[in-house]
């Protein structure tokens, strides 16, 4: 479904992503991990068109989306959530999701009332229906994360890019959010590329994991392979641990 080939991105003298290649199969949950500053979010931004890669190609559903504007990529079926929630603070949750409903797909004749009905369905799905008239600025961090999920789902994506969706959530909220993501994947039949720092969650959730370090891909494989990979252990814990074999 998604094919990233030799993608490179520089910011001045800094190479944020360096010749990274990997692919995501339809229906899979792929984890993208790496220490802070490894280039995970930059890679996500490259996939969804916020940045244009300096080199390499990105293909989605057999189409070359390299350097395509974000709105066109979104309409092809790629949606995302943000590491730091970016809701429309002065808008109600219902209105915010309605924007996704109207523009996520080509629906030139969809009326506003139809859009809000559909938006209310996505709010109900993530458990925010009772907060439909609340301004986004009044929501808690968990509710903001769920609003982001509703907004992303409302664009009817085939590929969902999750950027540290569990950050700032307590264990109870994390398990609720995880359940919500499983439900979404099952109900909407979506593929997920997921950046996560909480290893316990990503190791259980993903079928395949890609590890980035200093902008380079250092490992790719199943969670078990990744957990035993010396390069990954070195990147996370330091060379001493990799040599002693104590992950």
Partner 1 sequence: MVRLEFRRDRILLRWGEQKYEWVIEPRYWRNPAIGVFLLAIIPLFILPYPNILTMLTSANLYAAIAIPLGLQMIGTARVNFGPQLYLGLGGYTSALLNLHLGWSPIPTLGATILVCAAVALLLSPTTFIAKGLYFSLITLILPLTFLDVTFLYGDIFRGEVGLVGMSPLFNFGKVKWNYLGYFYFSLLLMLLYLFVSDKISRSRFGVTLAAINENEDVARMMGVDVTKYKVFYYVFPSILTGIVAWFIVHTFRTFAGITYLPLDFMIKILIIVIIGGRAFVYGAVPGAYLIAVVEDSLRGLGPINYFVFPLVLIGAILILPRGEGLWGLYHKRHHRDYFPTLHVRR
Question: Interface with partner 1 by CB under 8 A: which residues?
Answer: 48, 50, 69-71, 74-75, 79-80, 82, 86, 88-92, 94-96, 98-100, 102-105, 110-112, 115-117, 120, 129, 132-133, 135, 151, 155
Smallest gap from Cβ 230 to partner 1, in A, equals: 37
Q: Given the complex with partner 1, which of 15 and 110 has the nearer CB atom?
A: 110
> Which residue, chain included where needed, has tokens 């439909």?
132
Q: Given the complex with partner 1, which of 52 and 200 has the nearer CB atom?
A: 52
Q: Given the complex with partner 1, which of 70 and 185 has the nearer CB atom?
A: 70
Smallest gap from Cβ 125 to partner 1, in A, equals: 14
Cα–Cα distance list, 139 to 34, 55, 123 (Å)? 30, 40, 13
Tokens at 95, concatenated: 């209105």
Smallest gap from Cβ 178 to partner 1, in A, equals: 23
| Whether the Cβ atoms of residue 93 and residue 125 lie closer than 8 Å to each other | no
Q: Given the complex with partner 1, which of 151 and 217 has the nearer CB atom?
A: 151
Cα–Cα distance list, 177 to 68, 146, 162, 174 (Å)? 31, 8, 12, 5
Rama region for 38: left / alpha / beta (φ>0; ψ in -120 to 50; rest): alpha
Residue partners of 27: CB distance under 8 A and separation at least 6? 189, 191
Q: Given the complex with partner 1, which of 122 and 213 has the nearer CB atom?
A: 122
């Amino acid at each position: 479904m998604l094919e990233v080939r030799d993608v490179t991105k520089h910011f001045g003298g800094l190479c944020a992503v360096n010749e990274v290649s990997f692919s995501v199969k339809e229906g899979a949950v792929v984890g993208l991990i790496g220490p802070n500053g490894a280039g995970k979010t930059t890679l996500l931004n490259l996939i969804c068109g916020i940045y244009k890669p300096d080199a390499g190609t990105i293909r989605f559903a057999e189409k070359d989306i390299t350097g395509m504007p974000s709105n066109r990529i979104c309409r092809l079926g790629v949606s995302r959530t943000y590491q730091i929630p970016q809701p429309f603070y002065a808008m109600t949750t219902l209105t915010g999701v309605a924007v996704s409903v109207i523009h996520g797909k080509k629906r030139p004749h969809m009326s506003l009332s139809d859009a809000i009905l559909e938006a209310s369905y996505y709010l109900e799905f993530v458990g925010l229906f009772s907060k439909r008239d609340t301004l986004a600025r009044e929501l808690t961090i968990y509710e903001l994360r769920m609003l982001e999920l509703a907004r992303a789902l409302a664009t009817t994506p085939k590929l969902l890019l999750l950027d540290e969706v569990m950050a700032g959530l307590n264990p109870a909220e994390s398990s609720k959010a995880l359940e919500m993501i499983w439900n979404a994947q099952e109900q909407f039949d979506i593929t997920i590329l997921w950046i996560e720092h909480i290893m316990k969650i990503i190791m259980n959730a993903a079928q395949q994991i890609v590890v980035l370090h200093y902008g380079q891909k250092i490992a790719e494989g199943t969670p078990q392979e990744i957990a035993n990979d010396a390069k990954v252990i070195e990147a996370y814990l330091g060379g001493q641990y990799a040599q002693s074999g104590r992950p």
